[in-house]
Structure 1
Amino acid sequence: MKRISLLLPLCVCAWMPVAAQQEQQMQAPADSVKNIAYIDSIFKELPEVMITGERPIVKAEQGKLVYDLPRLLGNLPVDNAYDAVKNLPGVMDLGEGLMLGGQEVTVVINGKVTTLSTGQLNALLKSIPVSRIEKAEVMYSAPARYQVRGAMINLVLASGTGHEPSLQGELYTAFNQNHFESLAERGSLLYSGRKFSADLLYSYSYDRDRRETDKEALHTLADGSTHQMDMYENTISRNNSHQIRLGMDYAFTDQHLLSLVYTTAFTDSKHNATVIGAQNSLTNSHADNQLHNTKLDYQTPFGLKAGVEFTYYRSPGSQLLYSTLGNETMNFLSRDNQRINQWRFYAGQEHTLGKDWGLNYGMAYTTALDHSFQRYYEPGTETLLPDNNMQSHRREQTLNFYAGLSKSFGQKFSADISLAAEQYHTDIWNEWSFYPVANLTYTPAAGHMLQLSLSSDKEYPEYWSVQNATSYMGAYSEIQGNPLLKPAANYETTLSYILKGKYVFSAYCSYTKNNEMQTLYQSPDRLVEIYKFFNFDFSEQAGIMMAVPFKIKNWLDSRLTAVGLRYHQKDSDFWDISFDRKLYTFVLTMNNTFTLSTKPDLKLTLTGFYQNKMIQGTFDLPRSGNLNTALRYTFAKGKAQLTLKCDDIFNTSTISTRIRFGNQNVKNHYMRTTREFGISFNYKFGGYKEKKREEIDTSRFK
């Protein structure tokens, strides 16, 4: 910092005599030209001497780690917000959602909670250009005022209002090829004005996929007989997805901001599956989902934030199944639909008190109505069959109150504590829960930070998983709902240390009561394997994480992230068997960026991921990993980028799950091709300086 602060006055001192002499150069004698050239050469050489510092990519603010995302991703071929989040230290994508230090994390936009599901949120993040993100705020324990519990990542996007009128945008297209082809396209526009701004985003994706599963199963019945249930499944899928997002902001006066966001998404998919072996079946299924979300939000300069949000989700589907297992034949046409109407009202107030005290409080009320049905028909005649039909009309209500205090004790220590009380009400459950949160931050010196976080959270089950419905994947495999599924309560503490503003070290432990998880069970009463969500007694996790970046001059920029952890899962009433399982394991990721050339701007990235053995209930998950590479060419004064990539070079991401527990004996060998070649191009126009929007929670939708 001292060198940087001295740079400006030195440059000014050097520039003043040069400027003065340049004005007199026409009248100066010839022998003075040497002096002018000498001073000018000193001015030109100064930057080479002074540019030796390095700004930190992360700094600590009250209860959060703030990452300079443009600097962190500057050398990486990252083109969307989802991949940007994956490159934050400690964040990993384990296939079922993003994890922060081994724990599930919620991603929000500009600090605003949404009602999108995990899958829909991830799809939205993948459609957002990374150039719109200013910074990322990482919280291992989100304060109650965010109305998010547990770990949270807040993506902060540039504000569109307060600028001279301008129109900016970006176009993007990508083509990928593994077994089949896939295509992704998006376009975005942002109009910025003094008081009004509007942004429009449209994205489209198309992909085809092929998945192969080789099942080896030995099924033991209650009478002691064993049956070899080996079979091979081949599934071909096709998906189309459209997303449109329109957001508008109007600033009445300074810090009086009215925001309106409308998001809609349409997805249609088709799946054709063929199974041969102990079971022979042919399945054709189709799903057509649509989402509409409208959110109105108002912010005032005196700390009041209030809003209302409405979500409509509809997911009709159909399945035509013909399957044989021994002498049994299953032949039906099924139709199902999930329709969700969800309202959310919220208001919060923040006060800045004297002596660095802060006070915040507020409430949120959410009500959802789930209309769902599932019906089975005779193929051809479509006569309604008498068994396994389901009709549901289920209401759910959540009422939340919170209050919090924050305090800065000088420049080195700060604290942020809060408490939320929440009532969860359904036809089955009606209970109050309390969620304490605390963040303590100590900064002993510049670039060094120690943070202790305590959090609590509750995870609600997906809407469809609590329906009394049975779905079939064939005569041997079925999925059962669980109407008695409880919300899971989680408690976690994290201790983090940042060294020199870039090295991150964390230790954490968590305890989840009634942890909900879906696993497989071979029934002793009949030849069928059942997939069903259960509440485990508990799930515990403890681990350490480190993120270590390093550079070699100007040609290599790398970061190693390592997580070591201990799993402990227990369920005393899992069907007719109980389990109490423990496992020590680790995860490694490494990102390397090689600068091949600055003119032209060519960069090569090599990223790797390795996960050791894991457990999931009675499942054993083997080690897995991947190695990806990409070549990025930036041109047209930084406005255009062309990227060539190959993901999972050695095709090692696919795993084989196994159950060897009690009388359970199943191995599923997945043979999907994950090696993928791709090319993408994006172009920014109009000065491009965009802003982004918040998401919608559909994690519990079907």
Structure 2
Amino acid sequence: MFNIASLMIKLVVLFLLLIFCFTWGFSQNKTAVINGKVLNHENPAIGFYVFLINYRDSAIVKSTTTNNKGYFNFDNLKEGKYLIALINTGYQNKYSEIITIDRDTKLVSLPDLTLKKPDKNLNEVIVSTSKPYIERKLGKTVLNLESNVFGLGSTGFEVFETLPGINIKSTELSLNGKSNIAVFIDDKPSNLTGENLIEYLKNLPTNNIEKIEIIDGNSAKYDAAYNGGIINIKFKKGKNIGTNSTISTGGGLGLNYRYNTSININKRTAKSNLYLNYDFAKIKALDQTFLNRTINSNPLGRSAFSKTIIDVSNNDIKTRNNHSAILGYDYQIDDKQSLSLLMNAFSNRMFSDELNQSLISHDELDSTINSTSLENRLLTNLSGNIRYKKDLDKKGKTFTSAMDFLTFNRNSEEDLNSVYLNHNNAEYKAPLLFNNQTPSKINIISGNIDYAIPTKKALLEFGFKANTVRISNSRMINIQSGKTYIQNPNINFNYQENIIAGYSNYAYKNDKYSISAGLRLEQTFASGDTSVNSSLIDRNYFSLFPNLSLTKQLNKKNKLALNYNKGITRPRYDQINPFSYFLDQFTYNQGNAQLRPSTINSTKLEWELDAKYVFDAHYNYTNNFIYTVYKQDFRNNVAIASMQNFDYRQSIGISLSVPITVAKWYELGLYAEGNKEYFKYLDASNISIFNSSLNASLMLNHNFQLPKAIKATINMLYETPTAYAVYSFKPLYFMNIGFSKTVFDKKGSIRLTATDIFNTNSNRYSTNLAGINLIAKDKTETQSVRLNFSYKIGKQTVKAYQKRKSIVEDEKIRVGQ
């Protein structure tokens, strides 16, 4: 057993060493102050709101109120351009001239600002302006759903399918060939993975999502499991003082139906922001699986030879009822301290009505199994985050602490009835009745502290994190064949995992280049047992994860960045659960408790031109890559699908992001990616299986400004045939189209969309392992027509100091900063 005290000593020694190395050259950090006075007519304006606004993106940096003499003061300011804004009920919004803070600025004293009563003839303008759907910068891509036609009435999963660089295979997400990615919600880890994450995304309406950020996880501050990248879902928050809300509703028809409704409420004051998002969606859709398996009963080629063909078709009508809510509160305690709370909850009830037919043939049809299945499943999730931040001095030193928790419950009961028919369509054995109950529970608690020491051009960060996971699963099976009851004992699986981590990260920046280097240490303790095996999993390991980033500003238009990082992908909790799950009479899913973690080494070179064109070349090497492999039991023709470790996965590729203005009324966003991938797998017979392919994908977003203020969008995606793990995937392609128009003085929006208009979005794949040849197709109900409406309530506008469009947000290096 690894000694925790030994680990802590290592962490402390490392941090002291890094602090000694990095702080010797730290200099005094010059900070700037802005002050001024507000007048109400000719008298001091007492207790009025004053806001410091970032000139580039109109974001509120700080806020305060005037004192009893009408004065205000903002200190500890970084270099940049700012505005002072006076936004108070009953008065015109007042803005200062642009204030520039550079490295030599110490104090800016503004001329008096005088409040005025509103002019009834003065038109108001909306502060938030339309942004392009996709914005890409070095290390970051942003999808602005709020301004996109598909921002209403879609699901999170449908949006993820069109994210640049994202590849979805079954329940696996990867980004530019890296599978160690994480999904965040409002800058906080969701802690959802695999099937649980996919189910959440499929039931998550986009109505309350403002934007989705794809961020490089190239910082030791992040968990090593996030180094492949972070997909951050940002929900809507009001940006104006006062109370406002947005309501939306809509529905759609395909083979089946869907409808949704949502509400967003926000109350902002000078020191606090309270917001609530609630979504409800009901989606009824058909999922289809077609699987053809040819089995050689003598795969080693001896004289005896037999071939069995099992042809499975599965039609599953799923009805999902999903409730999701987010409650958040941000509070500025004083000029130096802030506190934020976030609660996220969802409940998904799914009813599955499934019809499965298996045709078993040798040279001709031998028998048929017809199965009907009814499943009732409930998923509930409650997670929360509390974060405290304090500015320790005027030089920018900060202390941050946070705590997260998650409770996830899954309760599922399935009743399956199978009827066995011979080639004459007559029953040849008693029907099989199968009842399966699989409750599971996941509890996660984590806490971290972070400390930042900035100087004029550098930043040193270090911190600690502890994470604990407790999982309990049960399987209760009742089987009845005819009048015979088959006894099956209940089985329990319990798993716990503790991770202790520490990191240090150093960043330096000047006018021409920047460098960031960091090191993260993680110690993992994992154990698991079942009711029949008390020591199924007992694993402790210590890992180091370095990262390095170099950025060079070549000139005003060109920028280069080189990144390296090492990360880890630990097996998902459901993947190491040893239970077997029934798919059909001849196919099972089974967990693998012996899975080992994957380690990923990634390198990427990026070139940015004109702050909008981005080209990158990347290379990733994954050791112990994890993916599904089928194994054949020749005694009963049952195929068992389970996760296995591959020797490696290698990916080398390039990508290109280009926004093109074709005409004043036509904008085209182009994203293209090409990869050469290699896989090696050692099967149970110690036979090495190699798979590789050259693949590419192309995504086009066409945006049109039509007459009468109507906007149109066409999304097009094409992926070439590709090799993945031990499978060969056929091309994937689909197209969506949508129209939007603002109504009711731009407070309302109507959006009409048609998804997968040619009904081509499906996964088609095959594999040919020793003794088994499998051809499969997975098709979900993706073709539909949807109509959605949203309406904004409350004060949505403020007076603008000048008519201007907000430009792209400042590129953030880290989530939440």
Shorter-normalised TM range: 0.7 to 0.9
| 1:678 aligned partner, one-letter code | R
Determine if the alignment matches structure 1 residue 367 to structure 2 residue 490.
no
SS in structure 1 at match of 2:391: coil
Q: Report the alpha carbon displacement of residue 254 of structure 1 after superposing the two structures with TM.
A: 2.1
Q: Report the alpha carbon displacement of residue 112 of structure 1 after superposing the two structures with TM.
A: 3.5
Q: Are 1:102 and 1:563, in contact at CA under 8 Å, matched by a contact in 2?
A: no
Q: Distance in 1 between matches of 2:135 and 2:779?
A: 40
**Which residue does 2:151 correspond to in 1?**
78
Q: Are 2:522 and 2:543, in contact at CA under 8 Å, matched by a contact in 1?
A: yes
Q: Distance in 2 between matches of 1:607 and 1:515?
A: 32
Determine if the alignment matches structure 1 residue 624 to structure 2 residue 732.
yes
CA RMSD of aligned residues (A): 3.1
Q: Report the alpha carbon displacement of residue 667 of structure 1 after superposing the two structures with TM.
A: 1.5
Q: Report the alpha carbon displacement of residue 387 of structure 1 after superposing the two structures with TM.
A: 3.9
**Which residue does 1:152 correspond to in 2?**
230
Q: Report the alpha carbon displacement of residue 616 of structure 1 after superposing the two structures with TM.
A: 2.8
Q: Distance in 2 between matches of 1:157 and 1:376?
A: 41
**Which residue does 2:812 correspond to in 1?**
none
**Which residue does 2:341 correspond to in 1?**
260
Q: Distance in 1 between matches of 2:797 and 2:463?
A: 33
| 2:251 aligned partner, one-letter code | F
Determine if the alignment matches structure 1 residue 352 to structure 2 residue 431.
no
The superposition leaves residues 91-120 of structure 1 with CA deviations (integer Å, 9 ceiling, x where unpaired) of 566674665434444343554434234336
Count of residues in Structure 1 that have an aligned counterpart in Structure 2: 624
Q: Distance in 2 between matches of 1:146 and 1:124?
A: 28
Q: Distance in 2 between matches of 1:454 and 1:150?
A: 11
**Which residue does 2:512 correspond to in 1?**
412
Q: Report the alpha carbon displacement of residue 357 of structure 1 after superposing the two structures with TM.
A: 1.7
The superposition leaves residues 194-217 of structure 1 with CA deviations (integer Å, 9 ceiling, x where unpaired) of 222211111111111113333322
**Which residue does 1:660 correspond to in 2?**
768
Distance 1:333 1:503, change over 3 A: same
**Which residue does 1:470 correspond to in 2?**
580
The superposition leaves residues 121-170 of structure 1 with CA deviations (integer Å, 9 ceiling, x where unpaired) of 6368644634x45xx76543431224442223456778769x64x11111
Higher relative contact order (CA 8 A, sep 6+): 1
Q: Report the alpha carbon displacement of residue 227 of structure 1 after superposing the two structures with TM.
A: 1.1
Distance 1:463 1:153, change over 3 A: closer
Q: Report the alpha carbon displacement of residue 589 of structure 1 after superposing the two structures with TM.
A: 0.7
| 2:592 aligned partner, one-letter code | N
**Which residue does 1:317 correspond to in 2?**
412
Q: Distance in 1 between matches of 2:755 and 2:731?
A: 18
Q: Are 2:580 and 2:589, in contact at CA under 8 Å, matched by a contact in 1?
A: yes
Q: Distance in 2 between matches of 1:671 and 1:271?
A: 16
| 1:305 aligned partner, one-letter code | T
SS in structure 2 at match of 1:214: strand
Q: Report the alpha carbon displacement of residue 395 of structure 1 after superposing the two structures with TM.
A: 1.3
Q: Are 2:207 and 2:248, in contact at CA under 8 Å, matched by a contact in 1?
A: no
Q: Distance in 2 between matches of 1:159 and 1:673?
A: 32
Q: Distance in 2 between matches of 1:455 and 1:418?
A: 9
Q: Distance in 2 between matches of 1:228 and 1:93?
A: 29
The equivalent position to 1:269 in structure 2, one of 329, 350, 357, is 350
Distance 1:215 1:66, change over 3 A: closer
The range that moved more, 343-352 or 673-682, is 673-682
Distance 1:192 1:570, change over 3 A: same
| 1:519 aligned partner, one-letter code | V
The range that moved more, 578-587 or 521-530, is 521-530
Q: Are 2:262 and 2:280, in contact at CA under 8 Å, matched by a contact in 1?
A: yes
Identity across matched positions, percent? 21
The equivalent position to 1:641 in structure 2, one of 732, 749, 755, is 749
**Which residue does 1:206 correspond to in 2?**
282
SS in structure 2 at match of 1:465: helix
The equivalent position to 1:281 in structure 2, one of 371, 376, 384, is 371
**Which residue does 1:122 correspond to in 2?**
201
Structure 1 segments unaligned to the other structure (5+ residues): 1-53, 691-702
SS in structure 1 at match of 2:542: strand
Q: Report the alpha carbon displacement of residue 501 of structure 1 after superposing the two structures with TM.
A: 1.4
Determine if the alignment matches structure 1 residue 676 to structure 2 residue 784.
yes
**Which residue does 1:339 correspond to in 2?**
441
Determine if the alignment matches structure 1 residue 217 to structure 2 residue 293.
yes
Q: Are 1:660 and 1:666, in contact at CA under 8 Å, matched by a contact in 2?
A: yes
Q: Are 2:215 and 2:231, in contact at CA under 8 Å, matched by a contact in 1?
A: yes
The range that moved more, 548-557 or 654-663, is 654-663
SS in structure 1 at match of 2:782: coil
**Which residue does 1:460 correspond to in 2?**
570
Q: Are 1:86 and 1:98, in contact at CA under 8 Å, matched by a contact in 2?
A: no
| 2:746 aligned partner, one-letter code | G
Q: Report the alpha carbon displacement of residue 174 of structure 1 after superposing the two structures with TM.
A: 2.3
Q: Are 2:432 and 2:482, in contact at CA under 8 Å, matched by a contact in 1?
A: no
The equivalent position to 1:551 in structure 2, one of 658, 661, 675, is 661
Q: Distance in 1 between matches of 2:797 and 2:418?
A: 56
Q: Distance in 1 between matches of 2:307 and 2:380?
A: 45
The range that moved more, 443-452 or 318-327, is 318-327
The superposition leaves residues 505-530 of structure 1 with CA deviations (integer Å, 9 ceiling, x where unpaired) of 11111011111111323333321111
Distance 1:216 1:682, change over 3 A: same
| 1:334 aligned partner, one-letter code | N
Q: Distance in 1 between matches of 2:732 and 2:484?
A: 47
The 5-angstrom pairing of residues 219-238 of structure 1 reads 219-222=295-298, 224-238=305-319
Q: Distance in 2 between matches of 1:339 and 1:508?
A: 38
| 1:122 aligned partner, one-letter code | L
**Which residue does 2:710 correspond to in 1?**
602
Q: Are 2:526 and 2:540, in contact at CA under 8 Å, matched by a contact in 1?
A: yes
Q: Are 2:508 and 2:516, in contact at CA under 8 Å, matched by a contact in 1?
A: yes
Q: Are 2:718 and 2:733, in contact at CA under 8 Å, matched by a contact in 1?
A: yes
Q: Distance in 1 between matches of 2:658 and 2:245?
A: 35
Q: Distance in 1 between matches of 2:280 and 2:481?
A: 35
The range that moved more, 210-219 or 360-369, is 210-219
**Which residue does 2:257 correspond to in 1?**
181
The superposition leaves residues 485-516 of structure 1 with CA deviations (integer Å, 9 ceiling, x where unpaired) of 12211111111111111111111110111111
Q: Distance in 2 between matches of 1:542 and 1:141?
A: 19
Q: Distance in 2 between matches of 1:583 and 1:154?
A: 30
Q: Are 2:349 and 2:378, in contact at CA under 8 Å, matched by a contact in 1?
A: yes
Q: Distance in 2 between matches of 1:518 and 1:689?
A: 52
The range that moved more, 566-575 or 259-268, is 566-575
Q: Distance in 2 between matches of 1:98 and 1:230?
A: 29
- TM-score, normalised by the number of residues in structure 1: 0.82
SS in structure 1 at match of 2:221: helix
Q: Distance in 2 between matches of 1:239 and 1:294?
A: 24
Q: Distance in 1 between matches of 2:418 and 2:350?
A: 22
Q: Distance in 2 between matches of 1:579 and 1:481?
A: 22
| 1:308 aligned partner, one-letter code | M
Distance 1:160 1:181, change over 3 A: closer
Distance 1:660 1:468, change over 3 A: closer
SS in structure 1 at match of 2:469: strand
SS in structure 2 at match of 1:464: helix
Q: Report the alpha carbon displacement of residue 420 of structure 1 after superposing the two structures with TM.
A: 0.5
**Which residue does 1:244 correspond to in 2?**
325
**Which residue does 1:101 correspond to in 2?**
176
Q: Report the alpha carbon displacement of residue 417 of structure 1 after superposing the two structures with TM.
A: 1.2
| 2:230 aligned partner, one-letter code | M
Distance 1:447 1:249, change over 3 A: same
Q: Are 2:183 and 2:192, in contact at CA under 8 Å, matched by a contact in 1?
A: no
Q: Are 1:272 and 1:284, in contact at CA under 8 Å, matched by a contact in 2?
A: yes
